[in-house]
Copies of this chain bind each other. A is one copy, B any other.
Amino acid sequence: MPRPCDKFDWPLEWPRRNLLASVGPEPHRLEATEGTGVKLQIVLTNLAHYTAPLRRFGASSLGRMFVLAIGLAAMTAFTVSDLQKSADFWLSACLWCCLAYFAVEGYVRAQAALQAGKARNYLLSASGIVDLVAIFPVPIALACGVAQPTAWLWASLWVLKLAQNSPGFAQLARVFVLEARPLASVLVLFLIVLFLASAAMHVIEREGQPVAFGSLPAALWWAVVTLTTTGYGDEVPQTALGRLLGSVVMICGIATFGLWTGILATGFAAESRRRNFIETWDLVSKVPFFQTLDPTSITEITHMLRRVEIPERVAVIRRGRVGDCMYFIAAGEVEVDVEPSPVRLGVGAFFGELALLGDSVRTANVATTKPSTLLILDLADFRKLMAHHSELARVIDAEGKRRLGENLRRRETGARGDAVAS
């Protein structure tokens, strides 16, 4: 029986495979014989399926993102005078709908906070402030008599909704905080070059180009545009000396920028290691398989594992594909599609080890039956683990051989031709 979710690859596996194959046929076939209610349910399930990978990227709800996109597009279109005249009603309607949506969303959240007695916390939290600036500025501006398109410009604050509830920002902010001292030094360096270069350029070029370099603010504008290597070209030095100074400023710009990037790269590498360890640790210590290990080994293994959250009914492994990782189940449940009847594996079990021990081809389909948290062990780390922890190696090897034997026995006994070829 071909399982519907087989066609849907988990994003971690598709880079090496063809992307197209993974979005081909739908996860559930709509059979004409079924009732409308069932049909609708299947459509919704399919939609949830297809958007599962999207949801990982911080967009907590696709609906919200859709409203947001519509709202921002309408707001943008509203400032174009032609569109504003021809489609005034529709754009206004769109904008008011979006505003209503955000107002309801904010109200629900505020209500929940009030009931939990945390109203003040909510108002002062990032989420609360985003809700406030999304809802109130436009009505207030309209009430104060600001003209239509201008008042709706406040709706550009809706873009902050993108960042609401996104954990990734905390991580980026942490990099900036940890590396605050060197980054501040680079900014000071930037300011010093900026001021000295623009003062010198002002002196050099003010006679030839009194408009572009006649005052220090104008020269500062040139310096910023040049030092960031933006280079609009609205103010360009003309004298030989000015051009020499300009060259130095450009090279300083690149040097400063390189330093800045280097600092952020260093900070991000450290933060990334730290976050991964923390995310994985709790899960590792809960997997029974690892509980025989001493704390030192657990620390070591934690560095090797990568955590992924997988929604319900998503294929993790597809038969016949080349595999380069194995999985431990930290939460949830998966179903292994073996003959004659599928086997379910629960928390603490592992799968996918056969491809690592043998000839690297997956021998069965594995799909989640519940939303699951898996720990991924890459081939490289798998081999290191096998090398350093002989007891784990023995357990995995024994289980692998047992499963292989079972597979063979099943294939021999259940020698009926199966149509699954894919």
Contact = CB atoms under 8 A, between A and B. Distances in A.
Assembly stoichiometry (copies): 4
A217 B80 contact: yes
Q: Is the interface of A mostly helix, strand, loop or mixed?
A: helix
A97 to B, nearest CB: 19
Contact of A168 (B181, B228, B257): B181
A273 B182 CA distance: 13
Contacts of A72: 195
A402 interface: no
Nearest to A390: B295
Interface string A102-133: 00000000000000010001001110110000
A173 B18 CA distance: 12
A296 B393 CA distance: 12
Most buried by B among A121, A224, A240: A224
A246 to B, nearest CB: 8
Contact of A75 (B11, B21, B168, B216): B216
B57 A180 contact: yes
Contact of A170 (B16, B78, B258, B277): B16
B265 A262 contact: yes
Given A262-B265, A380-B277, A232 B233 contact: yes
A86 interface: no
Contacts of A148: none
Given A185-B169, A258-B261, A384 B299 contact: yes
Contacts of A224: 243, 246-247, 250-251
Most buried by B among A20, A57, A58, A195: A195
Interface stretch (A31-39, A155-163, A334-342, A366-374): A155-163
B254 A260 contact: yes
Nearest to A264: B262
A79 B182 contact: no
A172 B182 contact: yes
Nearest to A192: B159
Given A163-B192, A232-B232, A232-B236, A260 B255 contact: yes
B250 A180 contact: no
15 contacts: A75-B216, A76-B216, A76-B220, A153-B202, A156-B216, A168-B181, A169-B185, A169-B188, A172-B189, A221-B246, A228-B250, A258-B263, A258-B264, A273-B380, A299-B384
